[in-house]
Amino acid sequence: MRQQYARRTQVLTAVMGFIALAIIVQMTRIQNSPEAAIFRQQASNYAYELRTFYPDRGEIYDRNGHLLAGNKSVYEIGVDLNIVKDPHAIASAVSVEVGMDYAQVIGAIQNPSADISYVVLADFVDVQQALRLQELKKLLQSQAQEGALGGLTGLEFKSHPQRSYPEDALGSNIIGFVSREGRGYFGIEEKYDTLLAGNPVQALVPTDPNKAFEIPRVLNGTTLVLTINRDLQASAEKILDESLQTYGAENGTIVVMDPRNGELLAMAVTPRMDLNQFWNYGSIYNNASEFNPAISMPYEPGSVTKILTMAAALDSGTASPGTTYLDTGSILVGGALIQNWDEAPWGVQDMTGCLQHSLNVCMATLSTQMGAETFYGYMDNFGFGHLTGIDLAGEAAGRLKIPGDTDWYPVDLGTNSFGQGVSATPIQIMMAASPIANHGRTVTPHALYAMVRDGRQYDVPAQFAGSPISTQTAETLSGMLAVSLESEGSMALVPGYRIAGKTGTAQIPVNGFYDSTKTNASFIGWGPVDDPQFMIYIWLERPSASIWGSETAAPVFAEIAEKTVILLDIPPDSIRQQLVAK
């Protein structure tokens, strides 16, 4: 009997075990079936959704913490077509508040494109306009009968950031702008577009608000600190605008740079534009090179390049400060006659007198004595015909013709020595002249001072681009240029500060010939001579009050230099030297 019960128990146990095993097998099969995968995906879709998070664009500040470019909230206004009750009320409210055409709004609501449930009426709407519409929507809903839909039901508001420029047009040529598509154009905005924009992040985020802690943290774009001094920039723009009126110039440029490290302190140009109204770009500029002529518009600079010819002559041993020559007023180079600016002879002159009187014949004499290989070798080392590498979008390289080029002629060896037949931008000329002010070392101009990301600041080091001349040559030439300004009583002199510099008056080529009545007036200078802390370049296009750089660009230099020493807190030479002596 007991054996019979034992057998029954064993059979029952086996049956139960088989049933259990069958259940496990079936559960495993179901869990791994395509239907189960679809079910799990559907279930997860209810708990999570894939979203893309866009970081806020990095801000831009000047070196002293003044905000130059930031972000503000604007609204997209649209209509949920599934719940809209009164299209006419919505069209009326939006057209009045946003200033849109009523017929256009009602048409967008009543005649939408096929198969859409949401239509955008307006975007980039000001916060105050959006808030007034939101208040009106709430008011109408509160007045509606219980259970009824308000007159603006279906009107939706979506906030998003937009680039803003609190200084409007100030430094517009340096900063650039961001389009409504989020792309940077010109200046810093284009050059560092990727850094400023940051990296979008895609992630599954919970739809349950209790799981908000799972939403990923998105780093904002990198914040940039510029080398620009906002107050000096504002002063430079004001002085430039006044100078155009005073001297009847068509346009102009003022650049202030620290010759010790290449930091741009100010870069004023005309015309400028309100960056908050970037859509007016086409009505202000004819082409992209006009946005920032300081880096994008090469021109024949004329006599300011004589300091580079003299630097090459001194450094190569072709001449010394005391070297003299007999100026007869003209010289033949390559079979062509080259004359001084006044077509007059100046007699016996040393090299300082050559600079002081800005003698073309002297420069052509030096370049021919050096020979093409030596002369163009120095010009190449100074950077002519090369990009400076400045960190602003849109730089142009200019042109230096050299022997072997199809359009180079022997006479160019003479004319290039005083800035004709060669083209360069103001920033190229400043970089080329920087070793004269910086003890022989060339600096690379730059506008970025530091980057700030995730609470950490990363400073940008100065970059140097070689030493085309010796320290002795640089210091000797700076002294010669200071003496030449003082000897002629130049209008560029700054009381209390010793300045080195050179004027430039370049005739403008018109239809293949130089027009003596139309010039580019320039001046480049730096100081204090014994410890240069600023370099300034002035360019006035086609001044009508006087064609001479000595009478137009030179006084503008003096005015901005006086403002520079005040804003940079540079004591007069006598006080500064006393402080150093202590």
Final residue in a domain of this structure, among 165, 189, 210: 165
- Residue 144's pLDDT is 65
Q: Which domain holds residue 30?
A: 2-47
Q: What is the pTM of this model?
A: 0.83
- Residue 85's pLDDT is 80
- Residue 43's pLDDT is 47
Give percent of the chain with pLDDT exceeding 90.
Answer: 63
- Residue 379's pLDDT is 96
The count of structural domains within the chain is 3
SS3 449: strand
- Residue 95's pLDDT is 83
- Residue 50's pLDDT is 60
Do 528 and 391 share a domain, yes or no?
yes
Q: What integer is the mean pLDDT of 248-261?
A: 97
Q: What integer is the mean pLDDT of 444-454?
A: 94
Give percent of the chain with pLDDT exceeding 70.
Answer: 87
Encoding tokens for residue 544? 């009508």
Residue 469: name the closest of 377, 572, 405 by CA. Answer: 377
Q: What integer is the mean pLDDT of 294-302?
A: 95
Final residue in a domain of this structure, among 139, 165, 191: 165
Q: What integer is the mean pLDDT of 297-307?
A: 94
Do 18 and 97 share a domain, yes or no?
no
Task: Tell whether 474 is covered by a domain.
Answer: yes
- Residue 111's pLDDT is 79
**pLDDT tops 60 at residue 213:** no
Question: Using alpha carbons only, what angle is made at residue 511 by residues 506 and 517, rounded to the nearest 5 degrees?
Answer: 40
Residue 392: name the closest of 292, 462, 305 by CA. Answer: 292
Final residue in a domain of this structure, among 135, 165, 195: 165
**pLDDT tops 90 at residue 571:** yes
Contact 548, 517 (CB under 8 A): no
Do 39 and 87 share a domain, yes or no?
no
The Cα-based distances of 398 to 297, 325, 375, 385, 425 in angstroms read 8, 32, 18, 5, 7
Contact 415, 365 (CB under 8 A): no
Query: d(Cα 150, Cα 528) in Å, to the nearest integer?
Result: 72
Contact 412, 335 (CB under 8 A): no
14-23, 119-128, 482-491: lowest mean pLDDT where?
14-23
Split at pLDDT 50, 70, 90, the class of 522 is very high
3-state SS, one letter per residue, for 167-232 = CCCCCHHHHCEECCCCCEECHHHHHCHHHHHCCCEEEEEECCHHHHHHCCCCCCCCEEEECCCHHH
Query: d(Cα 140, Cα 153) in Å, to the nearest integer?
Result: 9
Query: d(Cα 381, Cα 432) in Å, to the nearest integer?
Result: 8
Residue 448: name the closest of 188, 186, 169, 185 by CA. Answer: 188
Query: d(Cα 565, Cα 515) in Å, to the nearest integer?
Result: 37
Query: d(Cα 432, Cα 537) in Å, to the nearest integer?
Result: 12
Query: Residue ranges of the alpha helices (H) in 341-500?
Result: 351-356, 360-370, 372-382, 412-415, 426-437, 471-488
Do 431 and 573 share a domain, yes or no?
yes
Do 572 and 535 share a domain, yes or no?
yes
